[in-house]
Copies of this chain bind each other. A is one copy, B any other.
Amino acid sequence: MAAISINVSTVKPLGDRVFIKVSASEEKTAGGLYLPDTAKEKPQVGEVAAVGPGKRNDDGSFTPLEVKVGDKVLYSKYAGTDIKLGGDDYVLLSEKDILAAVS
The answer to whether B19 and A100 touch across the interface, beta carbons within 8 angstroms, is yes
Interface centre among A19, A99, A101 (most CB of B within 10 A): A99
The answer to whether A33 and B85 touch across the interface, beta carbons within 8 angstroms, is yes
Give the number of residues in A that approach B within 8 Å (Cβ atoms). Answer: 65
Least CB distance from A78 to B in Å reads 8
Q: Which residue of B lies closest to A57 (CB)?
A: B58
Taking CB atoms, residues of chain B closer than 8 Å to A25 are: 4
Least CB distance from A61 to B in Å reads 8
Contacts A81-B42, A81-B43: A53 and B66 contacting too (C-beta < 8 A)?
yes
8 pairs from A and B in contact (CB 8 Å cutoff): A4-B45, A13-B99, A14-B98, A31-B86, A32-B86, A36-B82, A50-B100, A60-B63
On A, residues with C-beta under 8 Å from B are 1-7, 10-15, 17, 19, 23-26, 29-36, 38, 40-43, 45, 50, 52-53, 55-60, 63-64, 66-67, 74, 76, 78, 80-86, 92, 95-96, 98-103
